[in-house]
Structure 1
Amino acid sequence: MFSKFTSILQHAVEALAPSLPLQEDFVYHWKAITHYYIEASDDKAPVTDTNIPSHLEQMLDILTQEEGERESGETGPCMEYLLHHKILETLYTLGKADCPPGMRQQVLGFYTKLLGRIRQPLLPHINVHRPVQKLIRLCGEVLAAPTENEEIQFLCTVCAKLKQDPYLVNFFLENKAKRGDIKGSDVEGLKEDLSSPDTGQQGHMGVGQEGHVGVGQDDPAAFSSSPAHEGGASALPSNSSSNYNLVSSLLNLTKSPDGRIVVKACEGLMLLASLPEDAAAHTLTESAGLCDLLTGRLTTFYQALPQSMDPLDIDTVESVNWGLDVYTLKEDAAAFTGKRALISFLSWLDYCDQLIKEAQKTAATRLARAVRDHFFVPVMEPQLMQTSEVGILTSTALLNRIIRQVTSEALLQETVYFLLGEEVGPEAPASVAHIPLRHRLIGHCDHLSDEISIMTLRLFEQLLQKPCQHILQNLVLRCLEERSYTERRPPDERDEREHMDNGQPHDAIDLEEDPLFSDLSPDTRHSSPDWFSCSPQQSVEHAKHDGKTEVHKIVNSFLCLVPDEAKSSYQVEGTGYDTYLRDAHRQFRDYCGICQRWNWPSVPKPLETCCLDHPFFEGHFLKVLFDRMGRVLDQPYDVNLQVTSVLSRLALLPHPHLHEYLLDPYINLAPGCRSLFSVIVRVVGDLMLRIHRVPDFTPKLLLVRKRLLGLEPEVLSVDHVTLLEGVIVLEEFCKELAAIAFVKFHASAPASP
C-alpha cells in the first residue's frame, strides 16, 4: 500500500513540476531505475512494489513522443542515449536475473513495446539486435512459466519486424559457438557498476566497455557490427552450422498447456517460414526442429484416432481451421466416438498445410517432403496396406479427407508421389511391383467389399479434382501418349487382317456391323475441329459444312446406345439430356481453368510421329474402371454411380488423346483394344439379351426409377432390382457423355464471324 501511495505521489509531483527537455527527462527516469539497485536492500520485494514499471513506461512514452516530433527516419537524442549507453543490454541482464522478482516480465514488455511503437528500424543496430537475440534465448526455457504471455508477445513482435524487413533475419542466425552470457548470480557485480561515479554517462553500468559483465560476451562471428552485416549482406551460407534461436524458442512455446500461447507460437513460426532468405529457410528446415514438430504431432494425433470410424462421420465432420478450434467434450461425445481426436488431427493438418503454403519455396519443399517421409510412409502406408477390411475402410476415408483438405502445392505433390509414385513413363501390365501402394489402391477399386470399392473410387475422384498434372499423367495420360490404341494399317491391309482374325473382330468392327448403329456413318470420322478431332484436319470448306454434323452424330451415338425399351427417363419430368448440359458446361470451364497452365496440346499427336514399338496398354487405372463399367448391370447402384462419376470426370478433361479415347465413337481401335464406347456397346448387347428374360421389364424399370427419385414408396418388392438400377445408370451415363461431348465441341469451335 505504501509503495502504491509513493508511486501516485511521484506522478503528481512530475505533473506539477516544470517540463524538462525530453533527453533530460529520459535520463532522469533511467537514473531512477539504476538508483534502485544502488539503494535497495531487499532483493525479494516484487518489482510491482517499486517504481521501475512506471519509469520504464515513461521512457517508452518519451521515445514515442520524440519520434513523433522528428522527421521520418531521424534518430533523436533520447534514442541515441538508449543505443549509445546500451540500456537494452542492461535491461536484458536484469531480466535474466529476474531481479527484483518479476523484472523479466517488465523487460519483455519494454522490448515488445519499444519494437512495436517505434517506426524507425531498430534491429539493424548491434546494440538492439544483440540484446534482443539474447532475450530470445530466455523465452521458452521453462514450460508454463509465469512469463509465457510476455514471452510470446515479444517473440511475435520480433517475427512481425522480420516480416517487414526480411533481410534482418540474418542477425538471428547465430553461429554455434560458446557464449558468455552472465549468470543470475552476477547481479551483485552489476550493482557495483551501478554505483560508479560516472553512472549514466559514457561508461554507464560498464556497458560501454566490451567484455564487461554487463554486456555478455558473444562470439564476434555471430554478431558483426560491420556495415555489410548491418545491411543484411552477410547472410550465413546455407551449409554453415547455425542456431535459429527465434525458431527454437517458438517451438518450445508450442508445448505450452495454454492453447492461446500455442496458437501465437504457431503464427510466429508461419511468419518465419515465409521469409525469403535462403539461409534462414535452410536452417529452419534442417536444424531447427520444425519438421519434427509438424510430423511428430501429425503422427500423435493420427495414432489417437479410433481404429474403426464411420466413413460418413469422417467425410461430414465440419471443416476445421487451425487455431479456431472451439469445442465442448459433451457435444463431441454425443456426436460420435473419436470426433475430438479427428478434429484435433484435421486442425493440425490444416496448420501444416497453411504453413507449407506460406513458406519460402525451398522450405516448403523440404517441409512437405518431411511430412511424406516421416508421416505418410511410416504411419499411413501400413494402415492402407493392411488386410482388415474395417481398417482399410477407415484409413482410406481418412486419406480421402486429407486429400480434400490439402491446398498447398508442395504438400499436394508429395502426397501424390506417396500414393502414385513419381513415374511418368509408359506403363506396362506388370509394372506395379515397385509401387505397391499405387497397385493396392487401384486394386481396391474392384474390391470384394463394395464399401471399400466405393471409398477408393471416391479417393481417386478427389485426386482428379486437384490441380496437379502428375495425377493425370501418372494415372491415364502416359498410356495414351503414342495413340497406340488406334489402328494404323491402311484400309486394305486392315480388311485382309480382319478376315484372318479367326472370326473374332474387335469392338470397332462390331460397332460398324451392329444394326443398332448402322446410321452412324464412318464417313464423318475425320471432320471435327481442334483437339475435338481425332483425325488429320480437313480443308476449311469441309470443316465448315460438316463440323456440326460430326458433333451431332457423336452426341446421337451416345444417346442412341440404350435401346428404347430400356429407356425410362422420358417418362419422368426433369431427367432429360438437357439437364446435363449446364453441369457439363460449368465443370468443363472449371477444368479448363485448372489445366490451362499445363500446356496440353490442342490436337492429337500425328500418327506418323507416334512410336510403334510397344502394344497398347490402357493402364491399370483405366483397366479397372472399364472392367467395372462392363459389369454395370450386375453391380450395386452406389458402385455404378461412383464408377460413372470417375469416368465422366476423365471425359471432361481437355486433353485431345483422352477425349479421343473416351468420347469418340468412330475411332478405329487397334486389335485387342477397347475404348469407353466399345465397353458400353458390349454392355448394351448383353442388356438386349436380358431384357426378354424379365417379365414387364419397362413398367418395372419406370417404377425403380421413381423409387430412386423418391417419387414412389417402396411398398412392393421388385425382382431384378440390380439389373434395373444398372440400366438406369447406363442410360443416365450415356446422356452425360453426350452432354460432355457437345459442350467440349462448342468450347473448342471457333466463334462464327
Structure 2
Amino acid sequence: MDMLSKLTHLFQQALETREPPVNLLDSFVDHWKGITNYYIETTGQTRPVKQTDIPWRLKQMLDILVYEEAQQGQEEMGPCMEYLLQHKLLETLCTLGKAQYPPGMNQQVLVFFSKILVQIQKPMLHILNVYRPVQKLVRLCGLPGSQTEKEEAQFMFVVCSRVKQDPYVLNYILEIKKDNHSKRSISTSEDTEKGRSGETVSSNYPTASDPASTSSPQQHSPTDSPSTIFPANAGLIHVLVHLSRSQKSRVALKAFESLLLLVSIPKEDTAVCLAESTPLCQLLAERLCELFSQLPATLEPADIHSFPQTHWNVPFSQSGMQESQSFPGSEHMENFFAWLDFLDHLMREAPKSLAVKLAKEIHHCWLVGVLQHELLQMSEMGVLVNTALLCCSVRHIQSPAMVEELVSFLLGRQTQSEQRLDTESHVLRYQLIEHCDHISDEISITTLLLFEALLQKPHREILFNLVLRNLENRCYLTRTLGGGDDCRHFTDTDPVEENEELEEDPFFTDMYGEDEFNSSEQLLHRPQLIREHRCSGQTQALDIVNSFLCLVPQEAKTSQHVQGARYETYVHDAHEQFKECTAFLLDWDWPESLKPTELSVSSSDFFEGHFLKVLFDRIGRILEQPYELNLQVTSVLSRLAVFPHPHLHEYLLDPYIILAPGARSLFSVLIRVIGELMQRIEVIPNFTEKLVHVRRQLMGLDGESGVDHMPLLKGVIILEEFCKELAAIAFVKLPANNTNLQNTDTL
C-alpha cells in the first residue's frame, strides 16, 4: 500500500513538472482573440451564436476575471481586468450585440454584462469604460419586438442592484436631458473623498500614476458627463417602465423589483435626482392613466366593490393567477389595481421628496386630468362606475403622500366653517356630497361607501374638513347672557310645568324657526322621552346609553323576539372600531375637553356643514328608503360617532344638549323619525307581528313571503339597530362606573 502511494505521488510530481503554470492574462487574451477572429474569418454566415464557440469563450473570460479577483484581493486591479478596461472590450461587445451578428449575440452580451456585474465584487459602474457601454446596452433594451426580454430584465435588475449598493454611481447610469443637467445632482461622501475634479477612481483601483491607467479607463472629464451622452427618452427609467408592461410575468416582475430597488435608495440626494432630473414620476403616472383608460365603461359596480385588495405582486404568483376573479373586464381591473398598489408601495418605500413628487404627479395626471371629469359627467352610469372605481382606489391607497393628495383632490384645503349657500369653493367635494342624496339609490350608496372608505384613512384633515370645522365654536348650543351654555339642571323633585318642559326640550327646538319656537301647541308631545337635563360635561354614560336604548317605542322593537339581537352584541364591535380610530390620534393633537363657548359667536348662524346635512336628511327618511341605503347611511354616521373628539361626541351622542334655535343634532333627527313612526304604526294592523317576521326574513330564519309596508318595516329594524349601535358607542367612549351597564338592555 505504501509503495502504491509513493508511485502516485511521483506520478503527480511528474505531471506538475511537465505542465507549465497557466498565464491568466495570456489565456484571457487568447479567448478574446478567438472571439474577434470569428468576425475576421467568417462572413455572411447565419449560424446562431449558440452554435459557435463565442458563448464558451465569454464564459471562460468571466471565470478568469472572477478567479483573478479572488487571487488579487480587494487592494488592486488584476491584469485581466486592466486589459478589459484599457482595450474597451465591453464597448466592443456592446457594438457586436447591437449588430446581432451572429444571430443571438445580443442575448450573450446581456448575459455576460449581467454576470460580470454580479460576480465581480469591486465597484465598477463609476468607471468610464464600464458605465458607457452599460448605458449603450440599456439603450438596446426595451425595443419593440425584442426576443431577449428575459435577459434584458435580468440585466436591468443587476444594474439597479449595483446602484442600490453604491448610490453615487446613479449619476453615471442615468441619462438626463441637458436642460436638467444644471439641476442638483447626487452628492455623497464618496464624492467628497474624490473631490470635484471629475476623477472617479476607486481606492481599490490603480491611480492615474500607475502604468495600467495610461489610457485612462477609470477617468473622465466633466464634459464627458452622462447627461451629455444620450437623449433622456432611451434611458434606464424608460426601459424599466417598458419592461413592466411585458406579457411575460417574470419579466414584468423583474422590472417592478428593479424600480423598487431604485426608489428605495435612502439617500435624499438620490431621491431628488430621480424626482427632478428623470421622467420617473411622469412615466409612472402616465402608465396609471393608460391602464385606467382601458377599464371598460360597462363594468358592474358590484364587481368593483367586491374586487379584493391584493398586493401588487400577487398577479405574478401561481396562486394569484389561480385565484384571480373572472368577470367582464376583470383582467383590466387587475392590471390597473396592481399598478396602483405598486405605485402606493413605491411611495411607502421611497424617501419623502420622491414620494411627494410622485403623488403630486398622480394627482395632476390621473385625479385631475382624468378622474375629475368622469366624476362630474352627466351620465348616471358613468358617475356610478367611476365613483365605485374611486372608492376601490381609496381602499388600496395607504402611503401618506398619496393619501395627502387624495384628500386635497376630494375635499380641498378650506379651513373656515362652511356656508350654507357656498357650492363653488370646491365643486367636486360639493357634488360628491350631493351624490350621497342622489335620485339614484345606487349612486347614493356608492358615494357613501366612498366617504366611509375615506374616513378610515389615518388623516386628520378628513374629519376636520367634513365635520369638525363646523363644530369648532359649538354654535349648535343655546348661549346665556353670561356666555355659558344654557344647561338647566333638574332633579326628580323639581316641579316642571308641561309647557315649560316642552319649551326647554332640546329634542324639538330644531323643528321650528325662532319666531315659532314659543308656540308650544305645535310641539310634538312625548313627555316620556324628556329626561333630566345635564350639561354634556356632566352627562353620565348610563344616561346616554339608556336614552338611545329607550328611543324606539316598545311596539316597534324586535330584539326580545329574536335571539342574538340584543344591545350587548354591539359593544364588542364598537370597542374594536374605537380602538382603530384612537390609533389614528397619536399625532392629531385633538383637545381632551370641550372648547369654552363664546357669546360673541352667533349661534343663529350655525350650519352643520353639507356632509352632516345630507346624512341627517337621509336619516330623516329612514322609514321610506331602501334597506341597503339605510345600512350605508347608518354605517357612515356610526363611523363618525366613534371618533373621540369632544365636540363630535357632544353633537352626535349627547341627547341632553340644548340646541340653538334652528339647529339640529343626530338625536333630535331621530326623535322626529320616532314621531313619524308612531303615527304610521297606528294605521298598520298587526304591526309588531309583521315586523318580527321581516326581521326573521332578513336573518334567514323565515322564508320569503309578501308583506305589506316592507320598506317601512325594514326601516324600523334599521332604526332599532342604529340606536343600539349608538348606545354601544357611547358606552365604549364613556365607560360608566356601573359594572352592570353592559347587561342593561331595555330594548
What is the CA distance between 1:685 and its match in structure 2? 1.9
Structure 1 SS opposite 2:605 = coil
Q: 372, 381, 384: which one pairs with 2:363?
A: 372
What is residue 427 of structure 2 aligned with on the other side?
Answer: 436
Q: TM-score, normalised by structure 2?
A: 0.79
Q: Which residue of 2 aligns with 1:337?
A: 328
2:709 pairs with 1:720? yes
Matches of 1:253 and 1:506 in 2, distance apart?
A: 75
Q: Which one of the candidate residues 674, 677, 682 is aligned to 1:687?
A: 677
Return the alpha-carbon distance in structure 2 between the equivalents of residues 338 and 362 of structure 1. Answer: 35
1:267 pairs, out of 257, 263, 272, with: 257
Query: Structure 1 residues 125, 207: closer, same or farther in 2, change over 3 A?
Result: closer
- The Cα of 1:580 is off from its aligned counterpart by 0.3
Give the Cα separation in 2 of the matches to 1:18 and 1:247: 55
Q: Which residue of 2 aligns with 1:159?
A: 160
Cα 1:415–1:514 change in 2 (3 A) is same
Counterpart residue type for residue 28 of structure 1: S
| Match among 696, 705, 729 for residue 706 of structure 1 | 696
Distance verdict in 2 for CA 1:73–1:580, change over 3 Å? farther
Task: Give the corresponding residue for 1:544.
Answer: none
Q: Which residue of 2 aligns with 1:190?
A: none
Q: Which moves more between the two structures, 278-287 or 265-274?
A: 278-287
Q: Is the 8 A contact 1:111 1:154 kept in 2?
A: yes
Match of 1:516 among 528, 534, 537: 528
Summarize deviations over 1:8-61 as a string: whole Å, max 9, x none.
xxxxxxx99977767x22441233312542573214455434433223222322
Matched residues in 1 for 2:327 and 2:541: separation?
51
Question: Does the aligned pair in 1 maintain the 2:541–2:736 contact within 8 Å?
Answer: no
User: Aligned partners of 2:636, 2:299: CA distance in 1, in Å?
Assistant: 25
Is 1:458 equivalent to 2:449 in the alignment? yes
Residues 227-282 of structure 1: CA deviation (Å, up to 9, x unaligned): xxxxxxxxx9xxxx978822133234445554543332233223222334555544
2:65 corresponds to: 63
List aligned pairs for 1:170-569, cutoff 5 A: 170-174=171-175, 176=177, 209=215, 220-223=222-225, 245-254=235-244, 256=246, 258-278=248-268, 280-286=270-276, 288-325=278-315, 335-490=326-481, 501-504=514-517, 514-518=526-530, 520-523=531-534, 525-527=536-538, 550-569=540-559
**8 A Cα contact 1:640 1:726, kept in partner:** yes
Q: Report the alpha carbon displacement of residue 133 of structure 1 after superposing the two structures with TM.
A: 2.9
Deviation at 1:577, TM superposition (A): 0.4
Contact 1:625-1:643 within 8 A present in 2 as well = yes
Deviation at 1:167, TM superposition (A): 2.6
Q: Quick check: 1:561–1:681 contact (8 Å CA) kept in 2?
A: yes
- Amino acid aligned to 2:111: G
Deviation digits for residues 45-83 of structure 1 (CA, Å, limit 9, x no counterpart): 554344332232223223333444565666555445544
Tell me the residue number matched to 1:11.
Answer: none
TM-aligned CA deviation for residue 482 of structure 1: 1.7
Query: Aligned partners of 2:17 and 2:52: how far apart in 1?
Result: 21
Change (3 A) 1:748 1:99: farther
**Residues 333 and 270 of structure 1: is their aligned pair in 2 closer, same or farther, counting only changes over 3 Å?**
closer
Letter in 2 for 1:65: Y
Aligned 8 A contact 1:174 1:222 in 2: no
Contact 1:130 1:223 in 2 (8 A): no
Say whether the 8 Å CA contact 1:626–1:679 is kept in structure 2. yes
Structure 1: gaps of 5 or more residues: 1-14, 179-201, 225-235, 529-549
Q: 1:256 to 1:313 in 2, by over 3 A?
A: closer
> Aligned residue for 1:42?
42
CA gap 1:220/1:385 in 2 versus in 1, 3 angstroms: same
Map of 1:199 onto structure 2:
none
**Percentage of identical aligned residues:** 47
The separation in 2 between residues aligned to 1:73 and 1:686, in whole angstroms, is 89
Mapped partners of 2:446, 2:49: distance in 1: 62
2:741 corresponds to 1:746: no
CA distance in 1, matches of 2:17, 2:603: 98
Structure 1 CA distance, aligned partners of 2:83 and 2:16?
Answer: 26
Distance 1:264 1:17 in 2: 50
The answer as to whether partners of 1:173 and 1:280 remain within 8 angstroms in 2 is: no
Q: Distance in 1 between matches of 2:310 and 2:16?
A: 57
CA drift at 1:524:
6.4
Change in CA separation of 1:144 and 1:480 when aligned onto 2, cut-off 3 Å:
same
Aligned positions, number: 662
Using the TM superposition, give the Cα deviation of residue 679 of structure 1 relative to its aligned residue in structure 2, in angstroms. 1.0
Q: 1:730 aligns with which of 710, 713, 719?
A: 719
User: What is aligned with 2:32?
Assistant: 33
Any gaps of 5 or more consecutive residues in structure 2?
1-14, 180-207, 489-499, 505-512, 739-747
Aligned with 1:632: secondary structure? coil
1:243, 1:283 within 8 Å by CA — same for their partners in 2?
A: no
Q: Is the 8 A contact 2:594 2:647 kept in 1?
A: yes
Cα deviation, residue 309, structure 1: 2.6
Counterpart Cα distance in 2 of 1:403 and 1:289: 26
Contact 1:244 1:288 in 2 (8 A): no
**Contact 1:126–1:223, Cα closer than 8 Å, also in 2:** no
1:662 equivalent in alignment to 2:652: yes
Superposed, which structure 2 residues align to 1:16-27 within 5 Å? 24-27=23-26
Alpha-carbon distance in structure 2 between the residues aligned to 1:455 and 1:53: 60
**1:437, CA displacement in angstroms?**
1.5
Q: Deviations over 1:627-674 (max 9, x none)?
A: 111111222222111111110000011211111111111122222111
2:744 alignment counterpart:
none
Which amino acid in the other structure matches residue 722 of structure 1? P
| Other-structure match for 1:624 | 614
Q: Quote the offset at 1:723 in angstroms.
A: 1.9
Is the alpha carbon distance of 1:746 and 1:115 closer, same or farther for their aligned partners in structure 2, counting shifts above 3 Å?
Answer: farther
Q: Is the 8 A contact 1:109 1:154 kept in 2?
A: yes
Residues 311, 338 of structure 2: 8 Å contact kept? yes
TM-score of the aligned structures, taking structure 1 as reference length: 0.79
| Structure 1 match to 2:582 | 592
Counterpart amino acid of residue 240 in structure 2: L
Corresponding residue of 2:192: none
1:175 touches 1:221 (CA, 8 Å); kept in 2? no
Q: Does 1:53 align with 2:55?
A: yes
Q: Would the alpha carbon gap of residues 594 and 505 (structure 1) be closer, same or farther in structure 2, given more than 3 Å must change?
A: farther
Is the 8 Å Cα contact of residues 28 and 80 (structure 2) preserved in structure 1?
Answer: no
Name 2:3's counterpart in structure 1.
none
Quote the offset at 1:611 in angstroms.
5.1
The answer (yes or no) to whether the contact 2:344–2:399 under 8 Å persists in 1 is: yes
Q: CA offsets per residue over residues 191-226 of structure 1, 9 Å max, x none? A: xxxxxxxxxxx9xxx99646xxxx8998743449xx
Measured in 2, the distance between the counterparts of 1:613 and 1:342 equals 49
Name the counterpart of 2:139.
137
Tell me which amino acid in the other structure corresponds to 2:158: T
Flag the 1:116–1:436 CA change in 2: closer, same or farther, 3 A: same
* Counterparts in 2 of 1:452 and 1:148: CA distance versus 1, 3 Å: closer
Give the match for residue 109 of structure 2: 107
User: What amino acid is aligned across from residue 723 of structure 1 in structure 2?
Assistant: L
Whether the aligned pair in 2 keeps the contact of 1:482 and 1:610 (CA below 8 Å) is: no
- The 1:65/1:706 distance shift into structure 2, 3 A limit, reads same
TM-fit CA distance, 1:591 = 1.2
Any conservation in 1 of the 2:32–2:57 contact (CA below 8 Å)?
Answer: yes
